[in-house]
């Protein structure tokens, strides 16, 4: 694509409205096109056929760590994720996957419910609340309860939440363009937060290692795990993975849960149907035992969540319209033939879930929230990616977000403030709702 501005290239148009920019380019230039931004060449692969190359390629050809490590290693630390060869990270993902079992999820639902009861107690009878801020706070607590275990959850004071925000701010646009050592205040805060967080986690790991009893949680899975060659995970690797787990589940889930809330508030007919579904599913489960003998501790249960089909469809449709990861990237290492193009080594190759999820030639009326729509072509619905880099957190995210919204739908009725649906804030790396205030009233 030609640009009149040297070096800056298409940065300005892209940063103003990336999805509109990419969609327009798709119609003008087809499913494969390149442009430059701050001296780098980006090649986008859009639509089912072109995206297939991205998702089925080998890491040696389209490399993830070369583009991501700069951002992630200062946050997670060394020895995990994009700091290690991809086959090692794949083993780490496998270990994490074994930690996400159905029996764990059953327990998670009760942990999440406990956090929900405590957290939303502070809401009034009716009022307005910053939904995104509330769900962000809540999800740190639920994710930590479920993924870190009780020792670390009990450390989550306001100081620690601040450390978390400082670390999280490491995922910034500046971190893409500046070297990790650059003396920027936000980088210094990130590095300090990393050191402090790591200290806390190392202490919790040491305590757990020396404890007589074995817990049934992710921390225990990681402590007991070993690589294929028999080597156990080091404390540094475990603490890196614990940071990774928290960050992976935080932004993605808090934005998704917020957007879902705004869609529910906008579509009152859907909200009514969701309320009915909750009454039907959890009404019968409210006390006593479930059909399969699982004891019900409160209102929510994993088996009940499975039966909330409409809620499931609404979450799926929210992830179509507002997937948290707007763009995934790889460094092109070897020339790639695709359709009638050859992409040279050195380009950054990208797929945009957000753009794929809205292509007008692929979806029927993509701009409308329709939980009943059908999902057809391969690789055009990719909120969790696909292939070797695919997300392992999908099932956990569904459990977490469905628990939260089951509870909220049962207890509250929601409306948009002044009928206004939040705009998308595209200046954040994960597209957040701007002015995310919602009206609530207890049922």
Residues contributing to the site for ligand HEM (CB under 6 A): 64, 93, 245, 248-249, 252-253, 256, 323-325, 328, 383-385, 389, 391-393, 396-397
List the one residue from 25, 37, 218, 248 that touches ligand LAN (CB under 6 A): 248
Q: Write the DSSP symbol of residue 41.
A: E
Residue number, 25 or 218, with CB nearest to ligand HEM: 218
Could you tell me which residues are beta bridge partners of residue 416? 438
Find the shortest distance in angstroms from Cβ 293 to ligand LAN.
34
The residue number with the shortest CB distance to ligand HEM is 393
- Residue 361 CB contacts under 8 Å (≥ 6 apart), including other chains: 47
Residue number, 173 or 378, with CB nearest to ligand LAN: 173
Residue number, 123 or 176, with CB nearest to ligand LAN: 176
- Residue 368 CB contacts under 8 Å (≥ 6 apart), including other chains: none
Find the shortest distance in angstroms from Cβ 301 to ligand LAN.
28
Task: State the binding partner of 310 from ligand LAN, ligand HEM, none, CB within 5 to 8 A by kind.
Answer: none
Site for ligand LAN contains 327 (CB under 6 A)? yes
Site for ligand LAN contains 71 (CB under 6 A)? yes
Stretch that binds ligand LAN, among 159-167, 324-332, 419-427, 431-439 (CB under 6 A): 324-332
- From residue 127, how far is each of 115, 132, 161, 191, 420 by CA, in Å? 21, 15, 25, 39, 16
Q: What are phi and psi of 329, to 5 degrees?
A: -130, 150
- 391 labelled as ligand-binding? yes
Site for ligand LAN contains 171 (CB under 6 A)? yes
Site for ligand LAN contains 398 (CB under 6 A)? no
CA atoms within 13 A on the CB side of 241: 28
List the one residue from 63, 72, 136, 354 that touches ligand LAN (CB under 6 A): 72
Q: How far apart are CA 403 and CA 287, in angstroms?
A: 17
CB 281 within 8 A of CB 299: no
Q: How far apart are CA 72 and CA 81, in angstroms?
A: 8
Q: Is 236 exposed, middle or buried (0-12, 13-18, 19+ CB in 10 A)?
A: middle
CB 119 within 8 A of CB 176: no
Q: What are phi and psi of 103, to 5 degrees?
A: -65, -35
Residue number, 145 or 255, with CB nearest to ligand LAN: 255
Task: State the binding partner of 62 from ligand HEM, ligand LAN, none, CB within 5 to 8 A by kind.
Answer: none
Q: How far apart are CA 190 and CA 395, in angstroms?
A: 29
Site for ligand LAN contains 80 (CB under 6 A)? yes
Q: How far apart are CA 102 and CA 302, in angstroms?
A: 9
Which residues are near ligand LAN by CB under 6 A?
A: 68, 71-72, 76, 80-81, 96, 171, 240-241, 244-245, 247-248, 325-329, 429-430
Tell me the binding residues. Answer: 391
Tell me the binding residues for heme. Answer: 391
């Amino acid at each position: 694509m030609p640009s009149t501005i040297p070096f800056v290239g298409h940065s300005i148009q892209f940063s103003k409205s990336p999805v509109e920019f990419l969609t327009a380019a798709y119609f003008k230039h087809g499913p494969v096109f390149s442009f430059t931004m701050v001296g780098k060449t980006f090649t986008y692969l859009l639509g089912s056929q072109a995206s297939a190359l991205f998702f089925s390629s080998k890491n040696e050809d389209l490399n993830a760590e070369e583009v991501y490590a700069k951002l992630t290693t200062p946050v997670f630390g060394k020895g995990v994720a994009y700091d290690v060869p991809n086959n090692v990270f794949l083993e780490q993902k496998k270990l994490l996957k074994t930690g996400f079992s159905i029996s764990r999820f059953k327990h998670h639902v009760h942990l999440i419910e406990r956090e929900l009861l405590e957290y939303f107690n502070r809401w009034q009878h009716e009022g307005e609340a910053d939904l995104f801020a509330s769900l962000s706070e809540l999800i740190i607590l639920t994710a930590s309860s479920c993924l870190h275990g009780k020792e670390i959850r009990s450390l989550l004071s306001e100081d620690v939440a601040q450390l978390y925000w400082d670390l999280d701010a490491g995922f910034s646009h500046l971190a893409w363009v500046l070297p990790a050592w650059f003396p920027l205040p936000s980088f210094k805060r990130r590095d300090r937060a990393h050191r402090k967080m790591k200290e806390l986690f190392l202490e919790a790991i040491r305590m757990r290692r020396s404890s007589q009893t074995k817990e049934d949680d992710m921390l225990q899975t990681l402590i007991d795990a070993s690589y294929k060659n028999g080597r156990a995970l080091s404390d540094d690797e475990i603490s890196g993975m614990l940071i990774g787990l928290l960050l992976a589940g935080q932004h993605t889930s808090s934005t998704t849960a917020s957007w879902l809330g705004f869609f529910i508030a906008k579509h009152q007919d859907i909200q009514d149907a969701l309320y009915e579904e909750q009454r039907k599913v959890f009404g019968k489960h409210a006390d006593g035992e479930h059909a399969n003998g699982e004891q019900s501790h409160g209102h929510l249960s994993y088996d009940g969540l499975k039966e909330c089909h409409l809620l499931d469809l609404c979450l799926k449709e929210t992830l179509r319209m507002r997937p948290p990861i707007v763009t995934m990237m790889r460094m092109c290492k070897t020339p790639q033939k695709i359709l009638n193009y050859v992409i040279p080594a050195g380009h950054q190759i990208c797929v945009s879930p957000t753009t794929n999820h809205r292509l007008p030639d692929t979806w029927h009326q993509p701009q409308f929230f329709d939980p009943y729509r059908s999902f057809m072509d391969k690789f055009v619905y990719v909120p969790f990616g696909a292939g070797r880099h695919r997300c392992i957190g999908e099932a956990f995210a569904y459990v977490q977000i469905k628990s939260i919204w089951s509870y909220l739908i049962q207890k509250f009725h929601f409306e948009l403030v002044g009928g206004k649906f939040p705009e998308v804030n595209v200046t954040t790396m994960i597209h957040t709702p701007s002015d995310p205030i919602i009206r609530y009233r207890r049922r």
